Structure 1
Amino acid sequence: MNRPAGDLAAQQQAERIVSQMMAHDAFSQWLGIEVVSVAPGRSVVRMTVREEMLNGFSVAHGGIAYALADSALAFASNSCGLVTLTLESTVFYAQAVHVGEVLTAVAEEVSSGHRMALYDVVITRADGSRVAFVRGTVYRTKQPHQ
C-alpha cells in the first residue's frame, strides 16, 4: 500500500517517540509490556500476567490491568508529537484475570481539541473477551518530543 509522504512521516515519528518512551519506562519494562503496534493516536500493547501480580484473591490486582491501559494511553497520546500528560482516567473491570493470561490493550483517540484529547482503551484476553475498559483525558503540552 502506498501512503502519502505526510502519513509515512507521522507513522515514523510515532514509532520513534514510543520507542524512546519505552526505552526509558522502567515500570512498563518491569511489567513485561510489549509494544505490538503504534500509529498516530493509537497503540496496541500486551503483557503476560505473572504470579507476583496477583492479589489476595489469586486474581490479577486491578492495578496491573490499569497500568497496562495507562501505558497504552501514554503511547497512543504521545505518538502525535507533543509531550502529553493524562489529566484523568476511569476504569471499569469487567472480568477477573488469572496468572498466565496474555492481556492486550488497544488505545485509540476518540476526540481531540487544541490541547486536550479523549482516549478509550479496551483490554482483552487472547480469546478476545474484554476484561477492562479505560477512558482517559489527556493534555497536550506545547513541548515537542525530541
Structure 2
Amino acid sequence: MHQPLEILKARLEKDTYAQSLGISLDSITDQTIEMHMQLKKSMNNWFSRPHGGAIYALADVAFSLLANKSQTIAVALECSITYHHSPDPGDTLVVKGECLAESTKTGSYLFKIFARKETGSLLIATMKSVAYRTEKPLNT
C-alpha cells in the first residue's frame, strides 16, 4: 500500500462530515477497504427508516479513501448505487470495497454495504465508482 493505515486514519479525522456520521476505518490494503457506521435516529427519513443518503455517504467515504491511497489526488467521475434492502434503524452498516482496475488516469471500484444482523449480514446496497486520478500531489 502507498500510505500506512495511520495516514489514512488521519485523513479520515479531517473529514468532518464522515466524523459527524460516526464512520470508522477498520482496514485497508492496496486493493480493499472495510469501514463501518452505526445508524442513528437522526439518519432516518420521513418513513422512520434509514435515509438512502446515509448509506451512500458510507460508501462514498470508503471510495474517497481507497481511491486516494496514493500520493496524488483522485476525484469521482461516476458513482452508481443500487439499494437492495432497507436496513433497520440502529443497525451497524459495514462497507467492503475493492479496486477492480487502476491505470495512471482512472480507477474502478466496487463497494458492498451490509447490515450486521444476529443471523449474519444482509446485503443492503452496492455501489460502482470510477475515479479520475490527477497528477496533483495529495497534501496530508
From 44, 54, 79, give the equivalent of 1:54. 44
Structure ranking higher in strand proportion:
2
Percent of counterpart pairs with the same letter?
26
Structure 1: distance between partners of 2:4 and 2:70: 6
Normalised to the residue count of structure 2, the TM-score between the two structures is 0.91
Structure ranking higher in helix proportion:
1
Structure 2: distance between partners of 1:45 and 1:81: 21
Q: CA deviation at 1:14?
A: 4.1
Structure 1: distance between partners of 2:69 and 2:56: 20
Q: CA deviation at 1:19?
A: 1.8
Structure 2 matches for 1:38-77, cutoff 5 A?
A: 38-77=28-67
Aligned match of 2:121: 128
**1:24-83: CA deviation from partner (whole Å, max 9, x where unpaired):** 100000000010011123211100000010001111110000000000111111113321
Q: Which runs of 5+ in 2 are unaligned?
A: none
- Residues 135 and 14 of structure 1, relative CA distance in 2, 3 Å threshold: farther
Structure 2: distance between partners of 1:75 and 1:85: 11
Q: CA deviation at 1:88?
A: 1.0
Verify: 1:91 aligned to 2:81, yes or no.
yes
What's the RMSD between the two structures over aligned residues? 1.4
- Residues 142 and 17 of structure 1, relative CA distance in 2, 3 Å threshold: farther
Comparing 120-129 and 14-23, the one that deviates more: 14-23
Normalised to the residue count of structure 1, the TM-score between the two structures is 0.87
From 101, 118, 135, give the equivalent of 1:142. 135
Structure 2: distance between partners of 1:104 and 1:22: 16
Structure 2: distance between partners of 1:104 and 1:142: 31
Structure 2: distance between partners of 1:35 and 1:136: 19
Q: Which runs of 4+ in 1 moved over 4 A?
A: none
